[in-house]
Amino acid sequence: MLTILDRQMVFNFVKAYLFCLVSLMGLFIVVDLFMNLEDFTAQRKDFESVLRFIGTYYGYKSFQIFDRLCESVVLLAGMFTIAWMQRSNELLPLLSAGVSTRRAVQPVLLCAFAMMGLVVVNQEFALPNIDIFMVENRANPEGAKDSEVRGTWDLNGTHISGKNAVKKESMIREFVAIIPAHVGQGQMRTLQAREARYIPHQDGDLRSGGWLLKNTNPPELPNWREDEDDVLMPLGDGAYFLKTKAVDLDTVVRVKNWTLYLPTWQILQELDRPNNTQRLLGDLAVVFHTRLTRPLVGIILVLLGLSVILRDQNRNIFISAGLCLMLCVVFFASIFACKSLAQDEVKWISPALAAWLPVLVFGPVSFVMYAEVHT
C-alpha cells in the first residue's frame, strides 16, 4: 500500500521525468530544425505548408527521439528525484524514523521500472506505425523523387531488384525478378519489366499483395500451367502479376536504419528470409537479442546510478550527479563496444553474447552496489 511519502516520491519522479524528457527532446528538435531548415522550406512557398510539414515530421520523429533517450531520461529522473530529496533533507527524518534507505527510494525504482515498459510499447507498437520514409528522407518526404532500390529475397526464395523507385507512385523502374525452380514450375525464371507497381493485399482479390509487371521480357512463358496458387500469373501482352509474401515497396526502398522501426516478430521473420548474407544475419541477430536485453539494461542502469548517489549521502549532490553521468557514459560505451565486436568485419564474439555481455557484467555489479547502500 502506498503511503503519503510514497505518493509524493512518485509525483516527484513523474515531474522530473516529464521535465527531462521535454527538455532533451526540445533541445534535439531545435538543433535538428535549424541544421536542416533548408530541407523543410525547399519547394514550399507559403509559411503555413512549411509549419504543417515541420509539425508532421517532428510528430513522427519524436517517437524515434524517445527511443534513443528513454534509458537516459529514466536515469536522470531517478537521479534528480533522489538528489532533490537529499538536498531538502527529506531522507534524514525517514532514516531517523527507522525507514531504510532502500525502502525510502523503492517508489522511485518502481516508477523507473514501469517507465522502461514504455520502451517496449514504443518499439513494438509506435515506431512500426510512423511514416519511416518521411523521417529518414525529409528532402523527399512525399517520395516523388527517385529512390535507391535494395535487392531483397522473398520468403519463397524469389529475388527482387530494380534500378530505382518512385515511392509516391508505388513503382519500380527496370524491375527484375528471379524466381527459383521450386516456385517456377521446375525451372528458374527471370523476368525483366520496364516498370512494376506494388498493389497492397485486399481480401478476395487475387491480383493484390504483389507486383503488377508491364512491358516484361520475356512477354510469354512457354509451357506455363496457370494455377491460382502460383506466385506468378501471366496476364497477356507482356504483363504479369507476381505475388510476394514479405516484399512490398517499403522493403525495397529501405532506409539505412530500417531495423530500428521493425517490431521484434518481424526481426525474427527477417532472420528466416532465405539467402541472407552472413553480415546481415549477424546484424539482425544482434538487434533481436538487444531487444530482449533492453529492459534489463535500463533497470541495471537505474540501479547503478541510484547506488552511486546513495552510497555516500554526505557527498555533494553535484559531484554525485557527475559521477552518475560518467557511469552512464561508461555503461553505454561498453554496450557499443560489445556490438562492435560482433560485427562481421571483426566477429570476435557471437551476436547473442554481444547483447547479453553487458547484462552479465554490470548486472551483478549493480545488485552488489545497491545492496551495499547504507540503510
Could you please report the per-residue DSSP string of 102-141? HHHTHHHHHHHHHHHHHHHHIIIIIGGGS-HHHHH-TTST
CB 354 within 8 A of CB 339: yes
* Segment 151-162 mean pLDDT: 91
Average pLDDT over residues 144-155: 89
Looking at every residue in the chain, the average pLDDT score rounds to 88
CA 314/CA 279 separation, integer angstroms: 51
Q: Is the pLDDT of residue 150 over 80?
A: yes
Amino acid at site 128: P
User: What was the pLDDT predicted at 344?
Assistant: 66
Segment 54-72, tens digit of pLDDT: 999 999 999 999 999 999 8
In three-state secondary structure terms, 160 is strand
Cα–Cα distance for residue pair 176/196, rounded to 1 Å: 9
Q: What is the pLDDT of residue 345?
A: 64
User: Whole-angstrom Cα distance, residue 270 to residue 177?
Assistant: 19
C-beta separation of 210 from 193 below 8 A: no
Q: What's the confidence (pLDDT) of residue 270?
A: 86
Question: Residue 197 is placed in which grid cell?
Answer: 507497381
**pLDDT at 33 exceeding the cut of 70:** yes
Residue 183 pLDDT: 86
Is the pLDDT assigned to residue 108 strictly greater than 70?
yes
CB 296 within 8 A of CB 175: no
Q: What is the pLDDT of residue 56?
A: 93
Residue/partner pairs of 223-230 with CB below 8 Å, 24 or more apart: 223/185, 224/185, 225/185, 230/183, 230/185
Predicted confidence (pLDDT) at residue 245 exceeds the cutoff of 80: yes
Using DSSP's 3-state secondary structure scheme, residue 234 falls into strand
pLDDT in tens, 199-231: 998 988 888 999 999 999 999 888 788 775 678
Neighbours of 207 (CB within 10 A): 12
Which one has a higher pLDDT value, 95 or 199?
A: 199
pLDDT at 361: 92
Partners of residue 198 on adjacent β-strands: 211
- What is the C-alpha separation between 254 and 251, in angstroms, rounded? 5
CB distance 327 to 308 below 8 Å: yes
**pLDDT tens digit sequence for 254-308:** 887 888 899 999 898 888 887 777 778 888 889 999 999 999 999 999 999 888 8
pLDDT 10s digits, 42-57? 777 788 888 999 999 9
Q: Tell me what pLDDT residue 263 has.
A: 93
256, 123 Cβ separation under 8 angstroms: no
The answer on pLDDT for 90 being more than 80 is no
Asked whether 58 and 131 are in contact (CB, 8 A), the reply is no
Q: How confident is the model at residue 176 (pLDDT cuts 50, 70, 90)?
A: very high
Average pLDDT over residues 86-100: 76
Please state the separation of Cα 336 from the chain's center in Å.
16
Spatial separation of the C-alpha atoms in residues 80 and 324, rounded to whole Å: 11
Return the higher-pLDDT residue of 5 and 23.
Answer: 23
Residue 190, H or E segment? strand 189-199
* Average pLDDT of span 332-342: 89
- Helix, strand or coil for residue 212? strand
Percentage of the chain beyond pLDDT 90 is 45
Of the candidate ranges 105-109, 138-142, 263-267, the one whose mean pLDDT is the lowest: 138-142
Distance of CA 92 to the CA centre of its chain: 42
CA 140 – CA 198 distance, rounded (Å): 20
Domain-by-domain residue ranges, the chain? Answer: 4-137+278-371, 147-254
C-alpha distances (whole Å) from 187 to each of 172, 235, 242 are 25, 20, 16
Looking at the chain, the whole-number percentage of residues with pLDDT higher than 70 is 97
